[in-house]
Amino acid sequence: MGTATKELPACPVETTLTLISDKWKVLILRDLLPGTKRFGELKKSIGHVSQKVLTAQLREMEENGLLTRTVYAEVPPRVEYTLTDLGYSLKPILDALWNWGENYKAQNS
């Protein structure tokens, strides 16, 4: 069951973490920021994530309104994922994480 149907925490930081705290969710967001991707493209770009876990994370993110899933009636079936406006609104947070990580790596290399 997605977070959208549950009561959200009172703290806004906790609410945000509830939606994106999983390692894979942040990487999914990162990889969808440039644009729409198919399932296989996401799995390849993210790396060591199982199909089962990636599917579960994508479903949760869809339930929470962070992305949309489009299924095309083709053989073989084609499924594409795209960030919603709500998902794109997380870009400044991901940019801040990127910048912090770059600074940390520079100081500790």
pLDDT digits (tens, 9 = 90+) for 31-68: 999 999 999 999 999 989 999 999 999 999 999 999 99
State the pLDDT at residue 3: 53
- Positive or negative, the Cα torsion across 45, 46, 48, 52? negative
Question: For residue 77, what pLDDT band results from cuts at 50, 70 and 90?
Answer: confident
By percentage, how much of the chain surpasses pLDDT 70?
A: 94
Smallest CA-to-CA distance from 83 within 94, 97, 69 is with 69
Question: For residue 7, what pLDDT band results from cuts at 50, 70 and 90?
Answer: confident
Residue 82's Cβ-count burial label (10 Å; 0-12, 13-18, 19+) is middle
Q: What is the mean pLDDT of residues 58-83?
A: 95
Distance CA 100, CA 98 (A): 6
